Amino acid sequence: MLVLAELGTAAYTEHRISRALRASAELSADPDVVIHGFPFLLQAARGEFHGIEIRADRVDTDIAGRVTIEANLEDVTLEPEAWYVRRTDALHARELEGRIVMHQIELGEFFDIPDLRITPLPTGVIDAFGTATPTTIARFRPVLLTASFPDLGISDEVNVEARLRLAGTQLHVDPLRYYTGRDGSWENPVPEELHDEVLRSFSITIDVQEVPFGLAPAVAFPQGGRLVVEGSGENVSLELVKRNAFGEGGGQ
C-alpha cells in the first residue's frame, strides 16, 4: 500500500506541475516532469524535493524553428500544503540549470541549409595540456558542418569547420574554412568561383534572448547533432499559473 501511495502521489504531483508549466509557458503539450528522491511521500509532506527534471520537445520558436527545452532544478521547495491542495503556485530552487537544444534538421530547415549535419570536432590544442575547464572547451570547441547545395549544382556533401560564438544573447555559428579531414584526404566539391558564397551560406546567427525560466545565456556548445545554449542561476523562484484539479485555470 505504501509503494502504491508513493507511486501514485509522485505521478499526480508530476502531472500537476507539468500542467502548470504548460499553462505558464503557453506550450502546446504537457512537458515531461520527473521528480527525484525517495521516499517521495516524506518529501511531499515537507514540500521539499531533492530535484526535478523538466523537458519539453518540439517547442515552436521564431529564432530556430522547433527546439527542445530542458531544465534541472535542485533542492526544490513548494509550500508545505501545495502537494495536496488543488493548485501549484510556485517553485523555488536553490540551483536551476536551463537549456535550449536546437536540432540539426530543424536548424537546416529554418536557415535553408539542406541536409545540415552538425558534428563536434576534437578539441585539439584547446586542451593540449589537459588543464582547460569544460566551459573553456565548450566555448572554443570547433564544430563540423556538413550540407549539400543542389540549387548551386553541388550535390556532393560539403564540409566546413566552424566555431560557436556566444556574444550576449546572440549565438553565432562562424564558418572558418573548408574541412578536408584530419589527414587532408577529403575532397572539396565546391568550384573555386563559389567558394566564398558557399562558405557564407553556413553562417548562422540566433538571437537566443533567454533560456528557460528567464535565465541569461551563459555558454553554447555542440552536442552530437545539436547546438545547446545553457544558463544557470541560484535561489530562483518560478511563478506558475494556478490550475485546479481538472487542469482548468482557477482563481483560488
Mean per-residue pLDDT, 27-56: 80
Average pLDDT over residues 171-185: 90
Say whether both 151 and 87 belong to one domain: no
Residue 53 lies in a domain: yes
Predicted local distance difference test score (pLDDT) of residue 61: 92
Highest mean pLDDT among 31-45, 76-90, 138-152: 138-152
3-state SS assignment for residue 7: helix
DSSP label of 21:
H
Specify burial of residue 193 (Cβ count, 10 A radius: 0-12, 13-18, 19+).
exposed
CA terminus-to-terminus distance, the chain = 32
Place of cell 533542492: 75
Residues 113 and 139 reside in one and the same domain: yes
User: 201 and 134: one domain?
Assistant: yes
Q: Which three cell numbers stand for residue 137?
A: 572547451
The total number of structural domains that make up the chain:
2
Average pLDDT over residues 204-227: 91
* Residue 184 and residue 204 in one domain: yes
Q: Are 95 and 80 part of one and the same domain? A: yes
Q: Identify whether 189 is part of a domain.
A: yes
Nearest to 190 by CA among 199, 203, 202: 199
If one compares 127 and 19, the residue with the highest pLDDT of the two is: 19
Q: Is the domain of 130 the same as that of 185?
A: yes
- Name the pLDDT band for 121 (thresholds 50, 70, 90): confident
Q: What is the predicted pLDDT for the residue at 246?
A: 28
Asked whether residue 222 is domain-assigned, the answer is no
Kindly state the cell numbers that stand for 168.
Answer: 550576449
Distance (Å) of CA 10 to CA 94, 102, 174: 21, 30, 45
Q: Are 91 and 23 members of one domain?
A: yes
Q: Is the pLDDT of residue 13 over 80?
A: no
Residue 77: what pLDDT?
A: 85
- Collect all residues with Cβ–Cβ distance below 8 Å to 31 and sequence separation of at least 6: 18, 21, 22, 25, 54, 55, 56, 69
**What pLDDT score does 148 carry?**
93
Q: Which domain holds residue 70?
A: 2-102+228-239
Q: Is residue 221 part of a domain?
A: no
| Same structural domain, 170 and 196 | yes
The number of residues in the chain equals 252
Cis peptide upstream of residue 189 (ω within 30 degrees of 0): no
